[in-house]
Amino acid sequence: MSLLDGGVAELAAAVRSRQVSAAEVLEEALARIEEAETELHCFNTVMLEAARAQAEAVDGAIAAGRDPGQLAGVPVALKDNMCTRGTPTTCSSKILQNWVPPYDGTVVRRLAEAGAVAVGKTNLDEFAMGSSTENSAFGPTRNPWDLGRVPGGSSGGSAAAVAAGLVPLSFGSDTGGSIRQPASFCGVVGVKPTYGLVSRYGLVAFASSLDQIGSFGATVADAALALEVAAGHDPLDSTSLDLPAPRLVEALGEGVEGLRVGVVDDFLAEVAPSCSLAAVAAAEALAAAGASCENVSIPEMLLGLPAYYIIAPAEASSNLARYDGVRYGLRVDGPDVETMNARTRAAGFGAEVRRRIMIGTYALSAGYYDAYYGQAQRARTILIRAFDAAYERFDVLVAPSTPSSAFAFGAKTEDPIEMYMSDLCTIPSNLSGHPAVSVPFALDSDGLPVGVQVLAPALGEPVMLRVAAALEAVAPPGVRGPVRPAASSSAVATGGGGGGRAGEGGGEVAGG
Amino acid sequence: MERISIDEARHVARLARLDLADGELDKLTGELSDLLEHVEAIRRLDTAEVPPTAHPLPLSNVFRPDEVRPSLERAEVLAAAPATEADRFLVPRILGEAP
Amino acid sequence: MAEYETVVGLEVHCELSTRTKLFCGCANAFGAEPNTNVCPVCLGLPGSLPVLNEQAVELAMRIGEALHCEIRPSIFHRKNYFYPDMPKDYQISQYDEPINVDGLLELPDGSRVGIVRAHMEEDTGKTTHVGGGGRIHEAGHSLVDYNRAGVPLVEIVSAPDITSAAQARAYVAELRAILVATGASDGRMEEGSLRVDANVSIRRAGSDELGTRCEVKNLNSLRSLGRAIEHEADRQASLVDSGERVTQETRHWDENASRTHSLRSKEEAYDYRYFPEPDLVPLVPDEALRQRASSALGLMPAARRARLQAALGGAEHARALMDQIGTVIELSLDDLVLAASAGGADPKHALNRAANELASQGERARALDPVSFASLLALESSGTLSATQVKAVLPELVEHGGDPAEVARRHGFEQLGTEELESAIDGVISASPTEWERYVSGDARIAGFLAGQVMKATRGRANGKVVAEALAARRAGVSAR
């Protein structure tokens, strides 16, 4: 077995101990990407030169006796809405097709400083608006479990890249479920942290009060380690929490004995049986492991979707105003500046982005602000209060991740509202700013993975990930990646050392 | 129940600087109305006693010190622009003064 | 024609004297090469985020304090509209929860103007119009420089309490002096550090109703401000007199044509879609911030005027000197005047020299050592140096410092000996016998001529007072004979 298929901590340890070089690990990842890309289209850009330079730098540091960091030599994929100096950052939009940022986002910088090797920019729904990657201007990503199905979205490329074993780690952004929903569809772990835990500096904004960067991994331990590296205070982001980076990995194995778990009733009737059954089974598993589980009704959760579809487009309409053809990106000429702006934006934005800009502009416009945006913000307060009340009784909540498993291409493209429903179970955590994780827990009758969400109060990542790890430990075999659309031979042999929780987690899983 | 007229949609498209063809404007007018119907629950909420939440964080007073940091290289900045002249960004004629 | 009253409210945009911009670390500097003080934040690049400059907050609070405002918890909003000088196509500004509200500005004549609000916001870039003589409507295309984008501004909005062009000018002059005194601004209108828009309306004399107002822009000097208000009030009056209505609109002051014209011909529907800026957190002026702002506050112009008036022997005595007082306060020379007076100089004398000779030296005059200023004034009042000589010595003292007596000697301004003076008077008498006779026979009007001739003969080295005394003594001698 390749080190790429083991735990991330183990891989980094192998690189640090010079058991394998960062360059060798990278070349294997690049080979896998090359082999799988024509079928999957996970990446908008593969960063061949930059990745090789970084791998060389990591190996050089190790040779010089320096420690390159916790993610030494670990190939990572970045959603193509995270700014990378010198590498195009397109947001899968024609309007930014040729834009090369002159700066690195904070997370990108932190990853490099921890020795990670960024291998490419992953596909997404344009400007992270969508739940299937079908809204990418550069074509959709395919789900490695079934090439006829969507990987979910908007971080579909990042989820599929980990699910297919192309990279052990990837990063995405989650505004209404854009990490957790594709994680569920692709059978990987996806974490949306507490708002403010991870810097947004360099993340191209969709809806600023909801956006948060998070990680994908094959295991909870991998995703948790990635989050540890990415998290921490950033003076460049006013909304970044001024706290020391959390320790997430060390407590993962502590179990769930004595924890109070609430199962959110309100979603169970709204989702496919495979999804509600997975959530119920998860609660039973936690009870069996010593937690106390109880169903809880939080009807305010159902306010999430409508509130979100006012707040997110409103903020987006303002965030996306800057794409006007003046300073960067696409320009479609016109006789005067207003016409040039309007032609550029109509040509550069895809249909879903245009639709959301229209909704958001309308919701903020004179005479409608109070009825829509103002009311949605009050609904947000109501939802947060309901969460607060629930967290007086429970340490964590368990809920389905998605209303269904991965759907076929084109299944929902004709009906925007049907597509929006994909985020039903994930949106409340974005509105409240609370953390949530999707962990693979079942297979449906089509053999597709189904995730379960664990939700926690603000900064509850340690307990949330502990619960997720407990679920992962008892999940049926075969519920998660990596799966290969095509077989590949391993260039890098498994070393003898390592071990640890991450390694064990990775070892349990059989390829799909 | 709020339905949007095509004139309203046209006004919104102008505010948003989107040059939409009539066909798309028609389609969007319908979709917008459908969505407003969908979020009707929000409009009907009794929120008399509920303050709005603009932001999930209870933070305040986040500042940076008044210290100069390096700016970007002008050549790099201008290289990204669709059109420049005399080290400035070039735009077609502007029809009105700034508000 | 009916009698009208002019009603004016002023909006003053003040650029804050911070080292960096409001939300990023780019230099806040006037006159740099285009697009050199720009970064991802102030260019509005995708992914960038604003972080509030603490010094800008302090300066805004100083302004609030100086204008007797209530300083309150505040938030920032986004004001959404498309314009190429605005990198994000929204402006981060304070809307319904500004930091300073409900203040007051008292003018030197004792009248008071209410301050509605003084809020923080970011500046826009600068556009240059190419072709069509640089006018926006005739230009072929425009060019944008974003150096100014993101520079911190405080917008100070007055109540419509101003009733004349003169009062509007006095308001801006006083506000400018306050802004300079707080250290919040350099107050340079010509560099755009201070930009004034006037909301002008008229109403029938004695009425309380407000008329429809027009906002007049492009007021680049106090002179423009005064003229534009007068013109606009006249324009509105003739409209109303001829039975027409004033339309609410924005008008542009054309200094060369001495008139205002409407800015927008087509109907422009602005809808700013304000909403709370999600990238920033609330600003809550706590005790520490308030303490810092108020302790950094210098003495305000009103207090400084009072101080000078007291030194000049009270408000009554000072009344005739208001212009000179205004000048020294505007140039911050009042400390110098007071220090020289404390050092024995006559306060009126010190004020006069400061408001005239020193004022022409500009800002560097502030650096003059008060002790040498006082001794120079002493040399003048004792008759050792003439007024002309003092004027020649002052610039050098300002430039290089030093002992005034020493500097005067270097200029060859040695005290004129009695002998030399007497022989100069002899020369004048023999050259102008007729005039001298008139003087001796009591024609006082000719004294000035004779003194002038003596000054001329001594090439300005004689002290005017001493010459007059010497001439009088000589006449007394002649009459006694």
pLDDT digits (tens, 9 = 90+) for A391-403: 999 999 999 999 9
| Least confident stretch, A493-507, C102-116, C150-164, C351-365 | A493-507
Q: Stretch A310-325: mean pLDDT, rounded?
A: 98
Give start and end residues of each alpha helix (H) in A123-257. 156-163, 180-186, 220-230
pLDDT higher than 80, residue C135: no
Stretch among A122-126, C99-103, C256-260 having the lowest mean pLDDT? C256-260
pLDDT for the residue A89 = 98
- How many structural domains comprise chain A? 2
Q: Are residues A234 and A121 in the same domain?
A: yes
pLDDT above 70 coverage of chain A, percent:
94
- The CATH number assigned to the domain holding A433 equals 3.90.1300.10
Q: Name the average pLDDT for chain C.
A: 90
What is the model's pLDDT at position A479?
A: 87
Model ipTM value: 0.97
Task: Say if B27 falls within a structural domain.
Answer: yes
Q: Which of A97-101, A150-154, C343-347 has the lowest mean pLDDT?
A: C343-347
CB neighbourhood size of C296 (10 A): 15
Beta carbons of A238 and C44 less than 8 Å apart: no
Q: Is residue B95 part of a domain?
A: no
| Partner B contacted by A102 (CB < 8 A) | yes
pLDDT of residue C79: 97
pLDDT at C268: 53
How many angstroms separate the CA of residue B32 from the nearest CA in chain C?
18
Task: Say whether C59 sits in a helix, a strand or coil.
Answer: helix
User: Do A352 and A415 lie in a common domain?
Assistant: no
pLDDT grade for C202, boundaries at 50, 70 and 90: very high
- The yes-or-no verdict on residue C414 having pLDDT over 70 is no
Active-site annotation holds for A170: no
pLDDT of residue C269: 59
**Is A325's Cβ below 8 Å from some Cβ in B?**
yes
Q: What's the distance, CA C335 to chain centroid?
A: 17
User: What is the distance of C-alpha C468 from the center of its chain?
Assistant: 40
Q: Taking 70 as the threshold, does the pLDDT of residue C1 lie above it?
A: no
Q: Would you place residue A493 in the very low, low, confident or very high pLDDT band (cuts 50, 70, 90)? A: very low
- Residues A85-92 have a mean pLDDT of 98
Minimum-distance CB partner of A336 among B31, B38, B93: B93
Give dist(CA A353, CA C120) in Å, integer: 32
Same domain, A150 and A104: yes
pLDDT of res. A302: 95
Does the beta carbon of B79 lie under 8 angstroms from any beta carbon of chain C?
Answer: no
Exactly one of A2, A21, A79, A170 is catalytic; name it. A79
Q: Which structure tokens are listed for A389?
A: 């009340």
Q: Are A83 and A103 in contact (CB under 8 A)?
A: yes
How would residue C454 be classed by pLDDT, with cut points 50, 70 and 90? confident
Local confidence band at C400 (pLDDT 50, 70, 90 cut-offs): confident
Beta-carbon contacts below 8 Å between A and B: 166
For residue C316, the model assigns a pLDDT of: 76
Q: How far is A492 from chain B (nearest CA, A)?
A: 40
Q: Identify whether residues A193 and A337 lie together within a single domain.
A: no
- Cβ of A276: how many Cβ atoms within 10 Å? 20
Q: Which amino acid is at C181?
A: A
Q: Is residue A504 part of a domain?
A: no
Claim to verify: residue A99 and residue A205 sit in the same structural domain = yes
Please, which pLDDT band fits residue C265 given cuts at 50, 70 and 90? very low
* A319 contact residues in B (CB cutoff 8 A): none
Q: Does residue A369 share a domain with residue A425?
A: no
As a whole number of angstroms, the distance between CA A248 and CA A217 comes to 14
pLDDT above 70 (res A261): yes
Between A493 and C361, where is the model more confident?
A: C361
A105 and A20 within one domain:
yes
Same-domain check for residues A57 and A177: yes
Inter-residue contact C424 to C400 (CB < 8 Å): no
| Residue B14: inside a domain | yes
Q: Reply yes or no on whether the pLDDT at A499 is more than 60.
A: no
Secondary structure (DSSP) of A398-418 = EEES-SSSPPBTTSSTT-HHH
Question: C33–B87: do the CB atoms touch at under 8 Å?
Answer: yes
Is residue A231 domain-resident? yes
Q: Is the pLDDT of residue C369 over 90?
A: no
pLDDT digits (tens, 9 = 90+) for C162-172: 999 999 999 99
| Total domain count, chain B | 1
Q: What are phi and psi of C319, to 5 degrees?
A: -55, -45
Nearest CA distance, C222 vs chain B (angstrom)? 22
From chain A, the residues in CB contact with C22 under 8 A are none
Name the minimum distance, in Å, from the CA of A208 to any CA of chain C: 6
User: Can you give the pLDDT at residue C2?
Assistant: 63
Q: Answer with the residue of higher pLDDT: A142 or C448.
A: A142
Whether A192 is catalytic is no
Q: What are chain B's partners, defined as 3 or more CB pairs within 8 angstroms?
A: A, C
CB pair distance less than 8 Å for C46 and A91: yes
- In this prediction, residues A79-101 reach a mean pLDDT of 97
Q: Is it the case that residue A494 has pLDDT exceeding 90? A: no
Q: In the structure encoding, which two tokens stand for residue C398, read together? A: 């300002």
In this predicted structure, what is the pLDDT of residue B45? 92
Q: What is the mean pLDDT of residues C102-129?
A: 96
Provide mean pLDDT across the span A368-389.
96
pLDDT band at A419 (very low <50, low <70, confident <90, very high): very high
Q: Is the pLDDT of residue A489 over 70?
A: no
Examine the fold and report which residue of A330, A356, A376 is the final residue of a domain before the chain moves on.
A376
Q: Torsion angle of alpha carbons A454, A458, A463, A469, nearest 10°?
A: 40
Query: Tokens 């960038």 map to which residue?
Result: C48
Is residue A369 scored above 70 in pLDDT? yes
CA distance B27 to chain C (A): 24
Q: Which residue has the higher pLDDT, C44 or C110?
A: C44
Number of C-beta neighbours around residue A202 at 10 A: 29
Residues of chain A contacting C46 with CB distance shorter than 8 Å: 83, 89, 91, 96, 99, 101, 204-205, 322
Asked if C139 and B57 come within 8 Å (Cβ–Cβ), the reply is no
Indicate yes or no: CB of B34 within 8 angstroms of CB of A358: no
pLDDT bucket at A497, cuts 50 / 70 / 90 = very low
Using the Cβ of B51 and the Cβ atoms of chain C, whether some distance falls under 8 Å is answered with: no
Give the strand order in the sheet containing A260-264: A43-46, A117-122, A75-79, A169-173, A213-217, A189-192, A436-443, A449-455, A396-400, A260-264, A292-296
**Could you tell me the pLDDT band of residue A498, with boundaries at 50, 70 and 90?**
very low
Containing structural domain, residue B35: 6-44
Task: Point out the least confidently predicted range of A27-36, A53-62, C82-91, C186-195.
Answer: C186-195
pLDDT class for C200, splitting at 50, 70, 90?
Answer: very high
Stretch among A315-324, A364-373, C147-156 having the lowest mean pLDDT: A364-373
Quick: pLDDT tens for A269-300: 999 999 999 999 999 999 999 999 999 999 99
pLDDT at C137: 76
CATH (residue range C418-480)? 1.10.10.410
Q: Which domain holds residue A314?
A: 304-376
Residue in C35, C273, C276 nearest the CB of B78: C35
pLDDT in tens, C277-321: 999 999 999 999 999 999 988 889 889 988 998 888 887 777 788
* pLDDT score of A505 more than 70: no
Could A336 and B94 be called an inter-chain contact, meaning their C-beta atoms sit closer than 8 Å?
A: yes
Residue finishing a domain among A376, A399, A432: A376
pLDDT band of A342, cuts 50, 70, 90: very high
Q: Does B76 touch chain A (CB under 8 A)?
A: yes
* A322 part of a folded domain: yes
End-to-end Cα, chain B, rounded Å? 34
Judge if A16 and A164 occupy the same domain.
yes
Are the beta carbons of C98 and C70 closer than 8 angstroms?
no
CA dist A109 → A116, A471, C289 (Å): 10, 32, 33
- pLDDT range class, residue B74, cuts 50, 70, 90: very high
**Poorest-confidence range of B67-71, C271-275, C428-432?**
C428-432
Catalytic residue among A178, A215, A274, A438: A178
- pLDDT for residue A484 is more than 80: no
